[in-house]
Every structure is written in structure tokens, then in C-alpha cells.
Amino acid sequence: MKNALSSALREILTTLNYPETKIVVQLPKNPNHGDFATNLALQLGGQLGKSPRDIAQILADKLKSDYPNLVDSTDIAGPGFINISINKNAIVSQLLSVLTLNKEYGKSDFGQGKTAQVEFVSANPTGPLTVGHGRGAILGDVISSILEWNGYEVEREYYYNNAGRQMHRLGESVKSRYLELVGENTEFPEEGYEGEYIIEIAQSLLDKNGDSLIDTADNKVFKEAAESNIFLNIKKTLARIGLKFDSFFNENSLYDSGAIEDVVDTLRQKNLIYEKEGATWFKATEAGRDQDRVIIKSSGEPTYRLPDIAYHQNKFNRGYDLMV
């Protein structure tokens, strides 16, 4: 009803050759004043140099004369507000349409022949999903379903960071717990992951490998075991709430494919990066941000921004009509 009323007012503006104006239709504070109210006449008053009440009367008369099936009555209030009562037959007709179409009501085909990608949840495999992740999961899936309902071919994608410092800390955390379980003296890493799930992963490694990993030089085996175990639990959690993803995209693949280097080369060719204090900076100010940002630290380690840029470039390259 609100949309129909807005459309009617827009058509009236055209018919009367009034200037194009933002139309605001809202519920009145007092339901006894009608079903809807608009301040359109007040907005037009200054533009036309006329009394808002006079303009309101003209608009109200046009609503009643040109749209009798939609508008039952109108009333001018205060300096020029228009209170509007909807024709009850229009309401009944709309309800009948809702009941007749049932689940198809409101459906459209505006996305027919188009593709959309919705990336959501995207929690890193460093621990179990949280309630916050669950909220994002539901929102993402609902958006995907709405797009599908309107004709889009939708790909649900889960992107996760499985490279960098946080994954190194994860591997070190599992390694430390493993060494504790085999009776070795070890110092738990600073800012390590301390959840019970870390001990469970370490125990599974001990059950499978015994103490053969004591002298392992790096933490690769511990990191990979942790990532695999945690991601398996993430998928199980998502499955329990009925979520199914079409693709899982990981950060490591951006390094393996050379996409990270390609992004750096492209930014350098466009003169959008520079070196300062041993670090590589992105000229974010040229993109409207308040300050430039580091994309490669002086240690040579990329910040999270660099793989994120590469990931979004990858998505653009895939040619979706819409990305969420």
C-alpha cells in the first residue's frame, strides 16, 4: 500500500508539472488520522512559492479523483500535512493476492540470467564458531535465498585466512600442548590459543603418532592438523543449522597462485604503493581514506589487507553480476 501510494503521488507530481521531490509516506502518529501521512506539500511549498496547505489540497483532490480504488479519503492537517485513508477494497484485494500467490507473493525475476556471489561467515580456522559467527551465517544465507528467489544464480562462498601469524601461533599452541602431553618441558607461546580444543587436537596427534613428533623442527604438522580438525568442526556446526556452501576459498591459494605478487605489481604500476621505513604502503588516501595503510611490514610479512585485496580482485575476475 505504501509503495502504491508513493507511486500515485509521483505520477501526480508529473501530471501537475511539479518539481521532482523526494516522497516520504509514513504512518501517522495517531491511527485515528488515517492509514498514512505525507509532508510532500510542505516540501513543495518553498520550491513553488505557494502555501503548503493550498498545495496539499490540490494533491489530496488529485488522489481522490484519480485513484479512487486506492484512496478512500484525505484530510489536510496543520501547516500542510496530508492524512490519507486507504480504500478498504484495496486492502482486501491485496490480502487476497497474498493468499492466492502464497509463497510466490512478492517474487520477481529481475535477477534472471544473472549470477551473484555471497561471501559470509568466513571465520578463520583458529577455533570453534561463536554466536556472532552464527548471526552472520543466518544473515548471509537469508540474503542468498532472497537473491535466488528473485532469479539470481547464487554461489555461497566461505573465505578463510589460513596463512600468516595467527596460523603460526595456532601451530605453536598445538605443538606446545603436544609436548606437554608427552611429558616435555615447554613454554606456551605468547598470545597462543588456550582453549580446550587445542589440547584435544594435541591428544589426537599423540594418539596417531605417539611421541614421534617430539623433535619436529617446525610446526607445519601441528598447524595442518589444527586447521583440518577445526575446519571439520566448523563444517559440522554449519551443517547442524542447515548451511551448505558451494565453495571454500583459502588465503594460501592466493600465495600459491601468485595472486599476491600480481596485486603488488598492479598497484606499483598504478603508482598506488610506496616504500617508507622499510615497509610497503598503499596510498589509501587516493581512494578516499583518511590515511595510507601498510600492506607489507618491514619484516616482509604482508598485513591482512594485501591478501584481502587479492581475494577481492579474484572475485571481480570471476565475473559475477553482483557480489555481497
Query: What is the band of 155 on the pLDDT scale with cuts at 50, 70, 90?
Result: very high
With CA atoms as reference, report the closest residue to 124 among 168, 155, 175, 156. Answer: 168
With CA atoms as reference, report the closest residue to 227 among 169, 311, 286. Answer: 169
CA atoms of 209 and 177, how far apart (whole Å): 14
For the segment(s) 2-91, the CATH number from 3.30.70.141, 3.10.20.30, 3.30.1360.70, 3.20.20.70 is 3.30.1360.70
pLDDT of residue 287: 86
What value does the mean pLDDT take over residues 137-144? Answer: 97
pLDDT of residue 9: 96
Q: Do 25 and 38 touch, CB atoms closer than 8 A?
A: yes
What value does the mean pLDDT take over residues 72-95? Answer: 94
For residue 271, pLDDT over 90 is answered with yes
Q: What is the pLDDT of residues 13-63, one digit of tens each?
A: 999 999 999 999 999 988 899 999 999 999 999 999 999 999 999 999 999
pTM of the model: 0.74
pLDDT of residue 138: 96
2-91 and 107-250: identical CATH topology: no
CATH architecture for the domain at 107-250:
3-Layer(aba) Sandwich (3.40)
The count of C-alpha atoms lying within 13 angstroms of the C-alpha of 75, restricted to the half-sphere facing its C-beta, is 12
Q: Where are the domains of the chain?
A: 2-91, 107-250, 253-317
CA atoms of 40 and 53, how far apart (whole Å): 11
CA atoms of 25 and 37, how far apart (whole Å): 6
pLDDT of residue 272: 95
pLDDT of residue 293: 95
Q: What is the pLDDT of residues 249-270, one digit of tens each?
A: 999 999 999 999 999 999 999 9
For residue 164, pLDDT over 90 is answered with no
CA atoms of 242 and 179, how far apart (whole Å): 38
CA atoms of 63 and 84, how far apart (whole Å): 9
CA atoms of 144 and 98, how far apart (whole Å): 23
Enumerate the H helices of 119-256 as residue ranges. Answer: 131-149, 165-181, 196-209, 220-240, 252-256
Average pLDDT for the chain? 94
Show Cβ contacts of residue 114 under 8 Å, excluding neighbours closer than 6 positions.
151, 152, 153, 321, 322
For residue 312, pLDDT over 90 is answered with yes
Q: What is the pLDDT of residues 213-247, one digit of tens each?
A: 998 888 899 999 999 999 999 999 999 999 999 99
What value does the mean pLDDT take over residues 113-117? Answer: 98
pLDDT of residue 29: 87
